[in-house]
Amino acid sequence: MLSNEMADLIKQRERKGKKKKSQIPYSVGLILIALILFVILLQKQYTYAVCWILGIGIGIVLRYSRFCFSAAFRDPFLVGNTKLLRGMLLAMMISTIGFAVIQYGYIQHNPIDYDLIPGAVTSIGAHVMIGAFIFGVGMIIAGGCGSGVLMRIGEGHALQWVVLVGFLIGTVLGAKDYSFWYNHIIEKSKTVYFFEYFDFKIVVLVQIAVLIGLYRLASWYEDRR
């Protein structure tokens, strides 16, 4: 996904070019279709209707915030802008508090079971580093993360459809070979759940403090650049 500065430059060039046809009729048509589908889903399956509206809302937020993990890590080095990185850190602070409240409520009344604890609690090992590295390389080559690619598809960028096909192929191959990774690496890796070793409040406070420190560091870096 392009950075905000690059996106603004493209818009400036578009204004200088040939005046484009109004997109308002298409927007009105899509809104009507979305509302009709919502009404149909609401009558048949309430959960799907809620997911439909939430998905549209998240898409709108992504479109106007231009949030993308790829750009969040790339822009500080490319253009010195840490706006998306700071937004990601802020989102992690909020999610840390939210997950802490949910998990604390569960642990207070139930024994620790990694398969039942709300949220993804799984083993950590070489497979995490390998997967993160491959995903990071692919994310940069593709020009965006999963959310960024979907947002660009919604904007009408044809190239991102090719990336989406790559996502689907990679997902199928990953599901096919998962048993190999699980039997040879994942199953033997240790699961580290901090709340088993440290006080719940201390873990949350330390994580929030680290994220705040990274946020301030990102702000200092942008001011310095």
pLDDT in tens, 35-81: 888 888 888 888 888 888 888 888 888 888 777 788 888 888 888 88
Domain layout of the chain by residue ranges = 1-66
Distance between CA 163 and CA 170 in Å, rounded? 10
Write down the pLDDT at residue 216. Answer: 94
CA dihedral 74, 80, 82, 84 (to 10 degrees): -50
Q: Collect contacts of 194-197 with beta carbons under 8 A, ≥24 apart.
A: 195/103, 195/107, 195/112, 196/112
Distance between CA 9 and CA 3 in Å, rounded? 10
Judged against a pLDDT cut of 80, whether residue 177 lies above it is answered with: yes
Which residue blocks in 45-158 are alpha helix, DSSP H? 46-65, 69-78, 83-107, 126-142, 146-155
Distance between CA 176 and CA 163 in Å, rounded? 20
- Mean model confidence pLDDT for the chain: 83
